[in-house]
Amino acid sequence: MGATPSRCLFLLFLFTCKLSPDVAAEIQESSDGSGAPQEAVQLTDVPAAVKFIAASEVAVIGFFQDLEIPAVSVFHGVVQKFHDVSFGISTDSEVQAHYNITENTISLFRLVDNEQLNLGTEDIESIDDSKLSRFIEINSLRFVTEYNPVTVIGLFNSMVQIHLLLMMNKASPEYEESMHRYQKAAKLFQGKVLFILVDSGVKENGKVISFFKLKKSELPALAIYRTLDEEWDTLTTAEVSIELVQNFCDGFLGGKRLVSVRLQGRQVELSSYVSNIPIE
């Protein structure tokens, strides 16, 4: 599938602009994790690999035919940086054939859209800690993905074209219970809708909120957005419930709108949503 003009604009903006030090530090802190050192799991047969991938929202597997290449040591080093990602290694030919692997490859698997993203031999010949870490950071989409200038790349590269955004302050008393319900609702739309959290307490996220014609005083709110034709709709709510989220998504998927808006010739304004990246 080819990239849409809005996605091309977004990618151009992304790769020609630098993250502000504050935003970059926040993303780095979220990926570093803490706790006991973890190791990559040895996956010696197909059932073990299938079970391993199915048990993790995001799993990264090094499919190596040669354990002496530099990429293997880079892989082991990155394992320690992401404590919310499961890592595995397999040299088994049957496992590699099962996942259509024919060369040294690092693959990221995610449940939310059932994607397998591969870094092949050409990519990993020059891989280093920074490149592999960024690959994981960008593509680690979950049942609920928190919006930031890095995860937004993965969101717009997904084949799932419907995005549902919950905009609320993570510091609010209702946050934990709302997220619990939002997480449950997300699993009902696996492969159909990407669920996103936009923390309204983050100053930079104000651009996302204003893009959907909302004010902070109207939050929490839901916004649903389709990347293919740039249709969107919003719903303000005092309480986030599974039923509310399900009905809102079903209505949009079925062609119903609370507020019908079709964006035309507004790619610059669209960048407020897809490329919320402060420029130094």
| pLDDT tens-digit profile, the chain (280 residues) | 334 444 433 333 333 334 444 444 444 554 555 556 789 999 999 999 999 999 999 999 999 999 999 999 999 999 999 999 999 999 999 999 999 999 999 999 999 999 999 998 889 999 999 999 999 999 999 999 999 999 999 999 999 999 999 999 999 999 999 999 999 999 999 999 999 999 999 999 999 999 999 999 999 999 999 999 889 999 999 999 999 999 999 999 998 876 544 443 344 344 455 555 443 4
Tokens of 106: 């690092």
CA 182, 188, 191, 192 torsion-angle sign: negative
pLDDT for res 236: 95
CA 171, 174, 177, 182 torsion-angle sign: negative
Under 8 Å between Cβ of 245 and 182? yes
Cα separation, 42 vs 88, in Å, equals: 6
Per this entry, what is the length of the chain? 280
pLDDT for res 121: 87
Tokens of 94: 């049957």
pLDDT for res 118: 97
pLDDT for res 27: 47
Under 8 Å between Cβ of 166 and 205? no
Dihedrals phi, psi of 274, to nearest 5 degrees? -85, -15
Q: 34: Cβ–Cβ under 8 A, 6 or more apart, which residues?
A: 83
Using only the alpha carbons of the chain, give its radius of gyration: 20
What's the whole-model pTM score?
0.82
pLDDT for res 38: 85
Question: 249-252 long-range contacts, Cβ below 8 Å, gap at least 24?
Answer: 249/162, 249/164, 249/185, 249/189, 249/192, 249/193, 249/224, 252/162, 252/224, 252/226
Choose among 159, 182, 178, 162: nearest CA to 226. Answer: 162
Query: Which residue(s) pair with 108 in the sheet?
Result: 60, 117
Cβ burial 215-236 (10 Å sphere, 16+ → b, else e): eeeebbbbbbbebeebbbbbbe
Tokens of 256: 């119903």
How many helices and strands, by DSSP H and E, does the chain display? Answer: 12, 11
Residue 4's alpha-carbon distances to 111, 192, 229, 272, in angstroms, are 25, 19, 9, 16
Choose among 199, 172, 181, 153: nearest CA to 243. Answer: 181
Dihedrals phi, psi of 63, to nearest 5 degrees? -95, 100
pLDDT for res 257: 73
Cα separation, 213 vs 229, in Å, equals: 18
Return the SS3 of 227: coil
